[in-house]
Amino acid sequence: MKERVLVIGSAGQLGTELVTSLRDIYGESEVMASDIRNPENMNGPFTQLDILDKAAFGRLIQSFKPTQIYHLAALLSGTAEKNPKLGWTLNMDGLFHVLDAAKENDFIKKVYWPSSIAVFGSNTPRQNTPQNCVMDPNTIYGITKLAGERYCEYYFEKYGVDVRSLRYPGLIGYKSMPGGGTTDYAVSIYHEALKTGKYTCFLNEYTYLPMAYMPDALRATLELMHTDASNVKVRSSYNLAGISFSPKEITAAIQQTLPDFEISYEPDFRQAIADSWPQSIDDSVAMNDWGWNLEYDLNKMSVDMLDNLTQMYQTS
Ligand code: AKB
């Protein structure tokens, strides 16, 4: 069967890189990128789409007839706290439009929707957080991700929608910038280390959070989407552990290449969000079900980030 893939939210941190990987697999013309914003540098098919506009989304579905949809459009933790109503509406109604489209159109065979470590909360075990445990998120973003997970499982159980999902930790990559998350510091810190030699972090030095390097996050996403449906035993969302470190530890990793790099700390409202999230994650269920394995540790990621960003800044 010829695959046709629609990516919603293609101009975001993950979407930018995922579209490239999907086009390498399926061919440029078979992957339609879409976003509310026009992307700065994107080649290949693109449609401007506000996923809250159900009629426009319906027209796109009927004209492009995707066999797979990657629905990435969302407000992240920091931005959703500043605009809770929009956070709820975008994150939930957008998902409903996609799940309903998959329920109503047989040609849509698979849906991917990202969840997050934000589904966990203050009463969740913070070390090695298991796949199944207390989940009491206290951010709008986390509440929408937990509700979304329940809906995904419901649509699979009741309507047979083949929806797959990962609970991403913070994502770190050099090709695109994150927008509005609590883990964003771990991308900005590399840019500032190279540009100014200094960085002021909005989390304190001991804040451990799980993060994943983009090549690992992309590979996990594609491996989950490509595995046989019988291997996908979790239809809410799979834990993905990545690497856990604190601002102090990422600073030390950067200082191995840039010894004069300096960090200072000015925690803001995102500190409370980070403090309610796990410090490390147990992703053994993903390992057992579909063979997940992490490749990058903190030092390998830091060397690769700094190498690529150095080249980028030299050529720009
Ligand atoms: C955020 O910080 O909001 C996101 C996430 C962990 O889902 N990067």
For a mutational test of ligand 1's pocket, the pick from 168, 268, 270, 279, i.e. the residue with the most ligand atoms closer than 8 A to its C-beta, is 168
Residue span(s) of the chain under CATH 3.40.50.720 come to 5-170+212-239
CATH superfamily of 5-170+212-239: NAD(P)-binding Rossmann-like Domain (3.40.50.720)
Ligand 1 neighbour 74 (Cβ under 6 A): no
CATH tag, 173-211+242-279+296-315: 3.90.25
Per-residue pLDDT, 46? 97
Residues labelled as active-site residues: 141
In the chain the beta strands, taken as DSSP E runs, fall at 5-8, 31-35, 46-48, 68-71, 110-112, 115-116, 163-164, 166-168, 170-172, 198-201, 209-213, 238-239, 243-245, 262-265
**Type and span of the H or E element at 164:** strand 163-164
For ligand 1, the distance from its centroid to the CA atom of residue 59, given in whole angstroms, is 31
Residue that has been written with the tokens 């098919």 in this structure: 45
Residue span(s) of the chain under CATH 3.90.25 come to 173-211+242-279+296-315
Sequence-separated (6 or more) residues with CB below 8 Å from residue 41: none
Sequence-separated (6 or more) residues with CB below 8 Å from residue 300: 213
Question: Could you read off the pLDDT tens digit of each residue along the chain, which spans 316 residues?
Answer: 799 999 999 999 999 999 999 999 999 999 999 999 987 776 899 999 999 999 999 999 999 999 999 999 999 999 999 999 999 999 999 999 999 999 999 999 999 999 999 999 999 999 999 999 999 999 999 999 999 999 999 999 999 999 999 999 999 999 999 889 999 999 999 999 999 999 999 999 999 999 999 999 999 999 999 999 999 999 999 999 999 999 999 999 999 999 999 999 999 999 999 999 999 999 999 999 999 999 999 999 999 999 999 999 999 7
pTM more than 0.85: yes
In 169-215 the beta strands, taken as DSSP E runs, fall at 170-172, 198-201, 209-213
